[in-house]
Structure 1
Amino acid sequence: MFHELQATPSTVHWGYFDAGLKPALRIKSGDIIRAEAVTHQAGDAPELMMDDAVRLLYSSIPEDDRNPGVHLMTGPIYVEDAQSGDMLEVRYLQMLPRFRYGTNLAAHWGLLYKEMGEKERVTIYKIDPDYNTARALYAYNFPGKYTVPGKITKRGTCTCEPALNGVRVPVRPHLGTAGVAPDAMGRVSTVPPGAHGGNIDNWRIGAGATMYYPVAVPGALFSIGDPHISQGDGEISGTAIEASLNVIFQIVLRKDFHFPSPLLETPDTWIVHGFDDDLDVAMKNAAKDMLHLLVDKHNLSQDDAYSLMSISSDFGVTQVVDGRQGVHCKMQRGIFPPKDTDEEI
């Protein structure tokens, strides 16, 4: 079955996952959803990144109800028969920008905030759909400190300057934040990533990719948000090019396997994720989970898997700006012999 999930005041939640939230949509395994993911930074250029529906979201959700995180989430989606210990297989099929504009904020939580003079700077980008690239349209210094999610800054209140003249960056739409509700009481911030998914900020989670999320509560309660149109590994300024997306995805409930952390499948690679406040520990967590994948799903011995990881896997820093830092580990799928059956993970 196909479902439409628009972002309205009754179908979004700002800054949190919550196992007690009323579902915005109920589905069965195999259903396909077209959902609106709205950026929490549309206020950086409201004349370019807002329409009436987006303005309604910003005006109807009080600033003091946008916590403890910052991301504007659509959902949650209740998946029939999903229970703790299951996995959600989310097949991302399409991600289309809602507008032709996005914003990058060099924020106070960015890696080089002090080195950059402790200022916060907004750069507005415009998409060229003919070439699938984005260029900087203008930039300005944010007045004060960016502390209120969804702060609206009108263009006439700041001095706009040209930026990145002639530079073009590839547009690769993806979701910075998506996941299931953690098994916890009350609100859980969208900012740190974890076993539930959350703010992973891996630009590879786009159309054509499949994510596997460990289910923690009945119904899974899956939500999406923090849409991006481009980002580099590390996300060092604190944000990507933040821009609203319309996303089509299919959710399949899997009861035949379990994995301890969010697992990403692309056409060419398996990617596992490790998280911790300490980047070294995040690296070790990613390594342990890749070892788990190779042993349990590819029937390698631990010794063989460890050797293979050292010569074939690529580790990268996913992000260093979300409090809990992220490392991803990629393994090429094509190095394994073909299976005799159509067996999936």
Structure 2
Amino acid sequence: MDIVEFSPEPEQYAWTFGGVAPIRRVKPGTMLRLWTEDAFCGRLRSTADLASASLTMPFVNPQTGPFYVEGAEPGDTLVLHFVDLTPARSWGASATIPFFGGLTSTDRTATLQEPLPERTWIYEVDSAKQTVGFRAQGSDLEVALPIEPMLGTVGLAPAAGEVRSSLVPDTFGGNMDTPEMKAGATCYLRVNVEGALFSVGDGHYRQGEGESCGTAVEGAMNVVLVVDLLKTPGPAWPRIENDDYLAVVGSSRPLEDAWRAGQVDMVGWLGDLYGLDKLDAYQLLSQISEVPLANVVDANYSVVTKVPKRLLPTAEVYSGIHAHLRSSTT
């Protein structure tokens, strides 16, 4: 297996999906060892660092990439298997940001309320215990929380020459902010342009479902992944497979349309895997689906529809590539 190592310099960050020249060319079957900067560009380092004074819009949520995958053509299925995600710093940061978050006025949910007060939290990483430390600022409460690394942003160039901010999730992936995007997971994306042009970033040391205040425990990440390619029709929405679940991430506004997008794609996936007609797949999904929220704060909301493999007959998903990549990298 070929191995490519890449750590971008700040001038090499990608801020969009689409509209960026590839930083490297890779072959299917290549393992990539990457470094990604956090969503704050490493600028929130203490509780005194506030987002409004430290960040420069729109230069937030930097991505590592894009990578040109040789042989990838529009309509193909890009396969990204995440082997390992490891915090690359001894601390992570979270913050409340004016007019951003799930429980505040925003530019899209406009009210006469003033913005919530700004505050920054620094989470110290305990590598030995594999925890990050929450410290309340209005009291003496401290809580050690398990590290559960994930990537908030995984995506590729959109179709039709579109250029989309790295803050946006959609059919091309992007800023989905789902904790399902973790080590051991395989993500399937539909290729829209020659070479696919995929990027990853927005490492989270942990995040609650929904990402309520708009920021997770944001941190730089060491990422090990394997990229592969299938010459089969790519999915309408990003799909994720791990050892226990099949999942689809739908992104839209309002929230119910994000839910519908994932549900419809899962109906089709179950139909393809088990030879079910639409109504039978719809009925089965109605009895077995789990629906965690990914984010309710971004330009589009993201909702995961997932089904447990233990409730279904064994099926060969995408020619068994998840199991193959899992076994070949552990």
TM-score w.r.t. length of structure 2: 0.86
Give the secondary-structure state (helix, strand or coil) at the position aligned to 1:43: coil
Task: Kindly provide the CA deviation profile for residues 278-320 of structure 1, in whole angstroms up to 9, marking residues without a partner as x.
Answer: 1111111111011011011232222221121111111122111
Give the secondary-structure state (helix, strand or coil) at the position aligned to 1:284: helix
Give the secondary-structure state (helix, strand or coil) at the position aligned to 1:168: strand
Residue of 75, 100, 110 corresponding to 2:101: 110
CA RMSD of the aligned region, Å? 2.6
Please, which runs of 5 or more residues in structure 2 have no aligned partner? 50-54, 106-112, 322-330
Distance 2:291 2:45 in 1: 35
Distance 2:120 2:160 in 1: 35
Partner of 2:52: none
Distance 2:29 2:126 in 1: 34
Give the secondary-structure state (helix, strand or coil) at the position aligned to 1:167: strand
Distance 1:320 1:198 in 2: 15
C-alpha contact (below 8 Å) 2:8/2:35 kept by paired residues: yes
C-alpha contact (below 8 Å) 2:78/2:234 kept by paired residues: no
| 1:98 correspondence with 2:88 | yes
C-alpha contact (below 8 Å) 1:16/1:71 kept by paired residues: no
- Which amino acid is 2:29 matched to? G
| Structure 1 residue 341 displacement after superposition | 11
Distance 1:321 1:207 in 2: 24
Task: Kindly provide the CA deviation profile for residues 26-75 of structure 1, in whole angstroms up to 9, marking residues without a partner as x.
Answer: 1111001001110132211079x9xxxxxxxxxxxx95xx63x6311111
- Which amino acid is 2:44 matched to? D
| Structure 1 residue 344 displacement after superposition | 2.2
Distance 2:126 2:301 in 1: 32
Distance 2:265 2:27 in 1: 29
Give the secondary-structure state (helix, strand or coil) at the position aligned to 1:331: strand
C-alpha contact (below 8 Å) 2:38/2:62 kept by paired residues: yes
Give the secondary-structure state (helix, strand or coil) at the position aligned to 2:121: strand
Distance 1:244 1:236 in 2: 21
Distance 2:29 2:122 in 1: 38
Partner of 1:181: 157
- Which amino acid is 1:321 matched to? V
Distance 1:341 1:329 in 2: 17
Partner of 1:121: 119
| 1:246 correspondence with 2:214 | no
The alignment of Structure 1 onto Structure 2 pairs a total of residues equal to 307
Partner of 2:110: none
Give the secondary-structure state (helix, strand or coil) at the position aligned to 1:291: helix
Distance 1:219 1:202 in 2: 25
Distance 1:341 1:72 in 2: 32
- Which amino acid is 1:253 matched to? L
| 1:293 correspondence with 2:269 | yes
- Which amino acid is 1:92 matched to? F
| Structure 1 residue 337 displacement after superposition | 2.1
C-alpha contact (below 8 Å) 1:126/1:137 kept by paired residues: no
Give the secondary-structure state (helix, strand or coil) at the position aligned to 1:83: coil
Q: Sort the Cα spacing of 1:117 and 1:73 in 2 relative to 1 into closer, same or farther, 3 A.
A: closer
C-alpha contact (below 8 Å) 1:98/1:246 kept by paired residues: yes
Partner of 2:169: 193
Q: Sort the Cα spacing of 1:89 and 1:173 in 2 relative to 1 into closer, same or farther, 3 A.
A: same
Partner of 2:204: 228
| Structure 1 residue 218 displacement after superposition | 0.5
Distance 2:315 2:306 in 1: 20
Partner of 1:43: 43
| 1:79 correspondence with 2:80 | no
| 1:11 correspondence with 2:12 | yes
Q: Sort the Cα spacing of 1:279 and 1:342 in 2 relative to 1 into closer, same or farther, 3 A.
A: closer
Give the secondary-structure state (helix, strand or coil) at the position aligned to 1:200: coil
Distance 2:33 2:197 in 1: 16
Distance 1:300 1:259 in 2: 18
Partner of 1:153: none
Give the secondary-structure state (helix, strand or coil) at the position aligned to 2:85: strand
Distance 1:322 1:304 in 2: 34
| Structure 1 residue 131 displacement after superposition | 2.2
Give the secondary-structure state (helix, strand or coil) at the position aligned to 1:4: strand
Q: Sort the Cα spacing of 1:12 and 1:36 in 2 relative to 1 into closer, same or farther, 3 A.
A: same
Write out aligned runs for 1:308-327 (5 A): 308-327=284-303
Write out aligned runs for 1:253-264 (5 A): 253-264=229-240
C-alpha contact (below 8 Å) 2:273/2:315 kept by paired residues: no
C-alpha contact (below 8 Å) 1:37/1:74 kept by paired residues: yes
C-alpha contact (below 8 Å) 2:273/2:317 kept by paired residues: no
Q: Sort the Cα spacing of 1:341 and 1:167 in 2 relative to 1 into closer, same or farther, 3 A.
A: closer
Distance 1:6 1:128 in 2: 24
| Structure 1 residue 193 displacement after superposition | 0.5
Task: Kindly provide the CA deviation profile for residues 5-28 of structure 1, in whole angstroms up to 9, marking residues without a partner as x.
Answer: 112145322x3122x422111111
Give the secondary-structure state (helix, strand or coil) at the position aligned to 1:44: coil
